[in-house]
Structure 1
């Protein structure tokens, strides 16, 4: 390219053969907003031929947090006589909205290893088969006032997690859910420790909170309010939102005493050994005596 043409583009070349000068066509601020920026360089060759070289420089990539399925939930006791009042949204303090979704029934089969002292449930890990679908709920341990779990549903992810947690090396897991239970037993000695059939009334409160009212086939009733988030740094905010909702509508949500979930109630009633294993690990204390909602809200104000 002739020097005169380069000047027409706003770029000056030096007369010296050994000197190269570049003029940026975009300022640094543009780098942050444009996908790339351009630099024109005029290079003098030994034969005094001018060449324009166009360089494209990519912006620095900012790592993104991995999105996950994270559940933040708090259990509560409910009075069945107040359920119709909640459904009509005619309680002493009204919700922004109450939407009944459905009533459904499902059967859960939970697995652990008896001879190893229940290493999963003693770490608040819940491996289950819900109506033929495998799920593994693993704790995030990021909040003290309620449960928060990362839920695994992919069979490869579940098997990788179990290998790491139980310290057992195995061959690849099967791809189908029907063979997965047999594979778990053969490789990890995992066996069912309880089967629970649940009837659930499912609601959406204020357009974002999932409300489940469960009745288990062994006679236990419990409610659960839940928010799903996708980043770990969103868990604390979800905890705060749930705490505020429960306190605002404490006419319906009773968290004042010891609240037992279905599994804690089942294990306490039918499996003394497992209960004692969970007690020794400290999981029972955390689940039965979580941080109070008042403390959560007080923390927010500090």
Structure 2
């Protein structure tokens, strides 16, 4: 299990590298923050995802059965990613319908339940402060604008 803290930006001011394709299945469980400044617990092991979905929905399905979930949107995303200063993940997503959004994120591998809620909350606050300082130091690189998530942009486009 990982903790992830991220801050969104509209897009990078430049494109320093070619695109790389990555395919993964993850569940991001919101643990605080808002749309621009988010805090998540991220699950990437299918059995953990299935267990969490079962807790929320009561549906006990496997990854092969899409965890019992129904598709509400389908679009492609190409993600560019960089590592800055040895710890800050910078990602920029471009969808097949032309929307662009980015994030600066820091991840930390948690000890799970052993860490306790208060320790996890304090760790996320510390991670967020580091991201804020990083984005301030390199503010010239990020066009803040008003970032909009991929799903929201898609639903607005198709009238959903």
Same fold (TM over 0.5): yes
Q: Is the 8 A contact 1:105 1:197 kept in 2?
A: no
- Unmatched runs of 5 consecutive residues or more in structure 1: 1-67, 88-99, 107-130, 185-189, 273-302
The whole-number CA distance in structure 1 between the counterparts of 2:59 and 2:81 is 40
- Unmatched runs of 5 consecutive residues or more in structure 2: 111-119
Counterparts in 2 of 1:223 and 1:134: CA distance versus 1, 3 Å: closer
Deviations 1:230-266 (Å, cap 9, x if unpaired)? 34131111100111111222222132x4211212211
Deviations 1:35-69 (Å, cap 9, x if unpaired)? xxxxxxxxxxxxxxxxxxxxxxxxxxxxxxxxx31
The whole-number CA distance in structure 2 between the counterparts of 1:208 and 1:134 is 22
Per the TM alignment, residue 205 of structure 1 is displaced from its structure 2 partner at its CA by 0.8
1:165 aligns with 2:56: yes
The whole-number CA distance in structure 2 between the counterparts of 1:236 and 1:134 is 26
The whole-number CA distance in structure 1 between the counterparts of 2:40 and 2:90 is 17
Q: TM-score, normalised by structure 2?
A: 0.79
Q: Is the 8 A contact 2:53 2:59 kept in 1?
A: no
SS at match of 1:210: strand
Choose which of 236, 239, 245 in structure 1 pairs with 2:128: 239
Residue in structure 2 matched with residue 30 of structure 1 by the alignment: none
The whole-number CA distance in structure 2 between the counterparts of 1:149 and 1:217 is 26
Residue in structure 2 matched with residue 103 of structure 1 by the alignment: 19
Q: TM-score, normalised by structure 1?
A: 0.45
SS at match of 1:192: coil
SS at match of 2:52: helix
1:70 aligns with 2:6: no
Deviation above 6 Å: which 4+ runs of structure 1? none
The whole-number CA distance in structure 1 between the counterparts of 2:138 and 2:39 is 22
The aligned length equals: 149
Deviations 1:68-94 (Å, cap 9, x if unpaired)? 311111110235xx425xx4xxxxxxx
Structure showing greater relative contact order (alpha-carbon pairs closer than 8 Å, 6 or more residues apart): 2
Residue in structure 2 matched with residue 264 of structure 1 by the alignment: 152
Residue in structure 2 matched with residue 193 of structure 1 by the alignment: 72
The alignment yields a C-alpha RMSD, in angstroms, of 2.3
SS at match of 2:86: coil
**Aligned 1:93-242 pairs, distance under 5 A:** 103-106=19-22, 131=23, 133-141=24-32, 143-144=33-34, 146-166=37-57, 168=58, 170=60, 173-174=61-62, 177=63, 179-181=64-66, 184=68, 190-231=69-110, 232=120, 233-242=122-131
